Chain A
Amino acid sequence: MSGGTFVGMPSFPKAAHEAVHNQTLRGNLRHATHTIRAKRANAVAEVSDWAELREAGKQIKDHTLRHLDRYLVQLEESVTAAGGTVHWAADADEANRIVTYLVKATGESEVVKVKSMATQEIGLNEALEAEGINAYETDLAELIVQLGKDRPSHILVPAIHRNRGEIRDIFAREMSEWGRPAPEGLTDTPAELAEAARVHLREKFLRAKVGVSGANFMVAETGTLVVVESEGNGRMCLTLPETLISVVGIEKIVPTWQDLEVFLQTLPRSSTAERMNPYTSTWTGTTDEDGPQTFHLVLIDNGRTDTLADEVGRQALRCIRCSACLNVCPVYERAGGHAYGSVYPGPIGAILSPQLRGTQSEIDASLPYASSLCGACYDVCPVAIDIPEVLVHLRERVVEGGVVTRDGAKVVLKPAKGHAAERAAMRAARWAFGHPGALRTGQRFASRTRRFHPRTLPGPGKAWSETRALPAVPAEPFRDWWQRTHGGKDASK
C-alpha cells in the first residue's frame, strides 16, 4: 500500500479481494461507517425541510452546470478584479506544470497544503516532489496518510482504514523524517495523537511561505472561494503564507452567495453529521497587509467538460464530496477505499472516475460493476445524484461501447474486452425469453436432469458456488404445474 498513487490499479474485484479478507481493515471500516451512518440519519432527521433542501441543491447545481461557460467567465472576472490571477488547466499535467511554475517563481522549496481532492486527483504532491519541492499535508487524516506512505481511502476521512494503534506507530516512526519528531512514549489516546500532530504541524505553518488549497465552492458573483473543515488547519494554510495557490475543479462553482445557504446546511449534516462546520473559511482575491499577498486560482478540467457532455452521467458533477454515499455503501464497507483506484472511492468514485478518465483501463471498466445497485447511496445523496442509474448507464458503455466525448471530440468506443461470453449468454437468454416454447423446453430439461446437477458451478459461476450453495432445480417448473391443474382453478391440487 505504498507509492501514494493510483496508477496501474488492478480491476475492482481483484483489488477488493485482499481487503475483504483483511479482518483489521474490515473492522476499522465497519466501525467507522456504521457510527457516522447513524449520526447522519439523526442530523438529517432534525431538519424538517430536508427534501426541499436536497431538491434546491440539485437545481442550483444543474442550473450552474448548464451555464457553466457563463459562470466561469464571471468567476474569472471577479477573481481578477479582487486582485487574484486565474489559470486554466485542461488536464492534470498542465495543472501540475502551472502550480510547479508558480511555486518555483516564489523561490521556495516547500509548501503547506490544506486537504484537497483536486490536487490528489492530479497527483500534485508527486509532481512537486519531482521538481524538488516538498508538499506538507496539514489535515490530520491527510498527514496520517502522507506519513504512512499510504493512499487516501475516504473522501472526508482519508485515513478511515487506520485505527488508533496504527496511527501511533506511524507517528512514532515517521514524524522525525519530515520535521519535528513525535514525543517519547506517545500513546494511542486521541488527545496525545492530536497534540503530537499539532506540534509537528505548527512548525510547518510558521515557516511556510506558500500554501496550496482546494475549495468546496467558488462563488461566481464575488470571486470568493470557500473551504469548510473541522480542524482549523486549513484556515492556517489559507491565512499565514504569503502566496496562496488554490486548485479547484471547474464544477465547484455556484452563482451567488445566497446559493451557499443550501449547501452550508446539507454538506455538514451529510458528511460529519454536524449542524454546522466548525470552520468555514472564505477568501476573495487579496487584501493589503492581511493574509496572502499573492493569490492564484488554478481551474482544472481534467475530464469534466467531457463528463458534462453526457446527459445521464453529468449528474455526477453535482457532487459536493460529502461522502455520505461512501458511509452507507455496503460494498465500500467491505472493499475499502483503495480498491476503487482513485482519490474518489465508494459509489461516487464508481461513477466519477470512469467518466473523468474514460472506461478503457481495467480498473475503470470494472468500477461500474462495483455495486449491487441497492440504492442506499441515492437515498442519502444531498444533491440527489441517481448513482444506480449512472452505474447502469456506464455498464452499457462498457459492454456495448457507443459514442462518448473524450477531449472535447465525439469518439466511438468499442465494447470493453472480456465481455464476449457474457454478451453471448445475454443474447441467448434474450432469445429464449422471446420464445416461451424454448424457455419451457429448457426448464423441462433442467428438471429432468436435476439429479445430475452439480452443486458447484464451473467457469465464472465457480466463485459464487464456493461460498453459496445453489438451489436444487424442482421436479416441475411452475408453468407445467399450472397447465396440469387446468389453469390452477382448483389450487388445492
Chain B
Amino acid sequence: MRVALFLTCVNDTLYPDTGRAVVKLLTRLGVDVDFPMAQTCCGQAHYNTGYRHQAEPMARHFSDVFGGYEAIVTPSGSCGAMVRELYPRMGERARAEGRGDTLAATLAPVVPKTYELTEFLVDVLGVTDVGAYYPHTVTYHPTCHGLRSLGLGDRPRRLLQSVKGLELKELPGADECCGFGGTFAVKNSDVSAAMGADKVRNAESTGADVLCAADNSCLMHIGGTMTRLRTDMRPVHIAEILASTEEETHA
C-alpha cells in the first residue's frame, strides 16, 4: 500500500522527529510512504481565525497535491479534522454563496482518504500491536479535535496499551481542552495559560514521566507550560512512542 504523509506545516518546521517517526513506523509495518514535496498547510489557522476565503486556495492546493494517493496519513488530529470535517463545509458554503460546485468537487476526493495516524493504524492496517517498546510511564491526552471532531475513541489508548514496557496512567480530566486553540492562545493568553497549567497539574498527578498526544500543536502548548512550571515530565508525540523498538533502546 502506498500512502502520502501529510505532515502538516507545524511538524515539518518544528517537529521533524515526529515525521521521521511516522515514516519509520509505517515502513516497519510494510507501508510504502511518500512525502509529496509540494505540500504546505491545510489552512486550519486561517479558517478558524475567520479568514475563510484565504483558506480556500490552501484547501485547493492540498487537494492538488494529495488527490492522487490511495490514502493520506497525518500525525495531527486537528489537521485531520480540518480536511475531514471542514473541507466539505467549505464546499457547501461556496455552493450556498452561488459559486457553484467547483470547490466542493475539487475537495471531495481527499476527504474520505485522509486518516489521522492512529485511525489509519487501527482501521486501515488493522493493527493495535505495532511491535513497539517504550519503557516509560505514560499518560495520554486525547486532544479536542481527535476526541470530538474525528472521534478517535480508544484507538490511541489501545495502541499504547500494546506497547511493551509502557505503563499507561489515566489522566484526570482527560477530555478537557489544554487551552491551545491556535490563535486563542495568543488572543486570550490568560485563560489559555490557566487551562494549560491545569492540564499540566492533572498530568503531574498521575506520576507519569511522559505526556503523550496525537497532535504536536497541543503538545507545544502543554510542553511550553511544563517548561515554565519546571516539571520533570516530557511531552512526546504518540508516533515517536509507537516507532520506538527494543533493539534501538538497547543499542
Q: Which A positions have Cβ atoms within 8 angstroms of B?
A: 12-13, 16-17, 20-21, 26, 311, 330-331, 334-335, 368-376, 378-379, 389, 392, 394-400, 422-423, 426-427, 429-430, 432-434, 436, 439, 443, 446, 460-461, 463-471, 473-474, 476-479, 481-483, 487-488, 491-492
Contact = CB atoms under 8 A, between A and B. Distances in A.
The 6 closest A-B pairs by CB, nearest first: A372-B181, A395-B50, A468-B224, A463-B189, A374-B177, A469-B227
A396 B50 contact: yes
A393 to B, nearest CB: 8
A194 B14 CA distance: 57
Interface string B23-65: 1100100000111011111010111111111100110010000
Given A369-B187, A430-B54, A467 B40 contact: no
Contacts of B15: 471, 474, 478
B49 A439 contact: no
Contacts of B57: 430, 434
Given A20-B194, A330-B195, A483 B37 contact: yes
A470 B228 CA distance: 10
Given A330-B176, A468-B228, A477-B13, A379 B148 contact: yes
Nearest to A465: B224
Contacts of A17: 190
A235 B160 CA distance: 55
29 contacts: A372-B177, A372-B179, A372-B181, A372-B185, A376-B148, A392-B47, A395-B49, A395-B50, A396-B50, A400-B52, A400-B53, A422-B183, A427-B54, A429-B45, A433-B43, A433-B61, A436-B38, A443-B12, A460-B186, A463-B189, A466-B189, A467-B225, A476-B16, A477-B12, A479-B37, A487-B34, A487-B35, A488-B33, A491-B24
Contact of A400 (B50, B186, B192): B50
A418 to B, nearest CB: 11
Given A433-B58, A436-B38, A16 B181 contact: no
A13 to B, nearest CB: 5
A473 B33 CA distance: 25
Contacts of B148: 374-376, 378-379
Given A372-B179, A433-B41, A478-B12, A468 B193 contact: yes
B181 A371 contact: yes
B46 A471 contact: no
A59 B54 CA distance: 33
A17 B190 CA distance: 6
Interface of chain B, main secondary structure: helix
B136 interface: no
B103 to A, nearest CB: 16
Contacts of A434: 40, 57-58, 61
Interface of B: 7, 9, 11-17, 19-20, 23-24, 27, 33-35, 37-41, 43, 45-54, 57-58, 61, 89, 96, 144-145, 148-149, 175-177, 179-197, 220-221, 223-225, 227-228
Contacts of B12: 443, 477-479
B190 A372 contact: no
Given A471-B223, A476-B16, A477-B16, A399 B50 contact: yes
B51 A400 contact: yes
Contacts of A443: 12-13
Contacts of B187: 13, 369
A375 B148 CA distance: 7
Contacts of A389: 89
Contact of B24 (A13, A335, A369, A492): A492
Contacts of A477: 12-13, 16
A374 to B, nearest CB: 4
Nearest to B51: A426
B177 A491 contact: no
A219 B99 CA distance: 40
A99 B37 CA distance: 67
Contacts of B192: 372, 464
Given A469-B224, A473-B13, 17 more contacts: A16-B190, A26-B194, A334-B195, A368-B50, A372-B184, A372-B192, A374-B144, A395-B49, A432-B40, A433-B40, A467-B197, A468-B185, A468-B228, A469-B228, A477-B16, A478-B35, A491-B24
Nearest to A370: B188
B190 A471 contact: no
A474 B223 contact: no
A16 B19 CA distance: 38
A470 B13 CA distance: 13
Contacts of A379: 148
A473 B17 CA distance: 12
Given A426-B46, A467-B196, A488-B35, A373 B9 contact: no
Contact of A331 (B38, B43, B191): B191
Contacts of A368: 50
B33 A373 contact: no
Given A392-B47, A488-B23, A478 B188 contact: no
A488 B228 CA distance: 36
Contacts of B228: 467-469
B148 to A, nearest CB: 4
Contacts of A369: 183-184, 187-188
Contacts of A375: 144-145, 148-149
A455 B38 CA distance: 30
Contacts of B33: 488, 491
A468 B181 CA distance: 14
B40 A392 contact: no
B20 A491 contact: yes
B28 to A, nearest CB: 8
A430 B40 CA distance: 10
Nearest to A379: B148
B229 to A, nearest CB: 9
A311 B179 CA distance: 29
